[in-house]
Amino acid sequence: MKARLTLAIAALCAFAALPARAGLHDDMVALDRAYIPALALTNQPKPDASKRAMERLRSQWNAFRTTYTSAPAGYAPDAWAAADREVEAAVTTAENNLAAGKNLDAHEDLERVREAQYVLRRGAKVPYFMDDLTAFHSAMEKLVGAIAGKTPATLSDADLAAVRLAYDAADRAWQEVLANRARAAQHGVAGEKLAAVQAQIDVETRTLADLKSALAAGDRAKVIEKSIATKPAFSKLFTMFGDFGSVTGA
C-alpha cells in the first residue's frame, strides 16, 4: 500500500511538472518569435520596422521576466540570473543604439541574446532546436570569416587548410541540426511554413555538401562561393522562426 501511494504521488508530481515545463518552452518560443524580427531588421536599413520590432521585443521580454522572476525547475538559480542580466543588458543597449540611429550596433547587441539563452539551456541540458541553430551559426560565421577578403588567387594553401577546419566544425554542428530537425515543429511553425523550414534545411545541407566537394577538389573559386553561400541560406532559415507580421505586415 505504501509503495503504491509513493508511486501515485511521484506520478502526480511528474504530471504537475509537465505543464510548467511545457509553458516555459512555449514562452521561450514566443520570446524567440519576437526577438528574431528585431535581430534581422536591425541588420537592414529599415528604421521604422526596426523600432516596432524592438518595442515588441521589449514588451515580450518584460512579460517573460515578470513570469519567471526566479529560476524554473531544472535551471540553476545563478545561471538563470546571469542569463537574465545579460539579456536585459543586451536589449537595453540595443534600444539605446537604435534610438541613436546606430542600427548595426543594435544588431550586434542583440546577438548576445541568443548566445545567453544558448548558454543557459545547454548548461541545463535542455534540448531546444533554436540552440542547435545557434551552435551552427557560430561555426558558420567562423567558416565565412576564413575566406573573408580572399579571391581564388589570394586563397593560399594555409587559408585552404583553415577553411577545411572551419568546415569540419560547421558540418559537425549541422549534423546536430539534421538529427533534431523534427523539433522545428515545436517552434511556432506548422503546415506550409514548417514544410518551407524543412526545405530550407535541405538547401543548407546541399550548400555544405557542395562546399565539401569543392574542398576535396581544391577548387578555390567554388570554396569561396559556397562558403559565402552558407550565410544567406542560414539567415533565411533562422528568420523563418520569427513573427514578422506585426512589425512589417509580412
Inter-CA distances, 214 with 131, 151, 187, 206, 209, Å: 28, 15, 34, 12, 9
User: Cell numbers at residue 50, please?
Assistant: 526596426
Q: How far apart are CA 92 and CA 84, in angstroms?
A: 12
H or E element, residue 217: helix 191-217
Say how many CA atoms lie within 13 Å of 124 toward its Cβ.
Answer: 21
Distance between alpha carbon 48 and the CA centroid of its chain, in Å? 24
User: Cell numbers at residue 201, please?
Assistant: 534545411
Average pLDDT over residues 88-108: 98
Whether residue 15 has pLDDT greater than 50: no
Burial of 190 (0-12, 13-18, 19+ CB in 10 A): exposed
DSSP-derived letter for residue 181 is G
The tens digit of pLDDT for each residue in 139-195 reads: 999 999 999 999 999 999 999 999 999 999 999 999 999 999 999 999 999 999 999
**What pLDDT is stored for residue 248 in this prediction?**
82
**What pLDDT is stored for residue 3 in this prediction?**
41
Give the type of residue at 190. A
Apex CA 88: angle with CA 85 and CA 92, to 5°? 140
Question: Which domains occur in the chain, in start order?
Answer: 22-126 (1.20.120), 129-239 (1.20.120)
**What pLDDT is stored for residue 246 in this prediction?**
80
Helix (H, G, I), strand (E, B) or coil at 47: helix
The tens digit of pLDDT for each residue in 26-69 reads: 999 999 999 999 999 999 999 999 999 999 999 999 999 999 99
User: Cell numbers at residue 88, please?
Assistant: 536585459
Whether residue 109 has pLDDT greater than 50: yes
The tens digit of pLDDT for each residue in 230-250 reads: 999 999 999 999 999 988 866
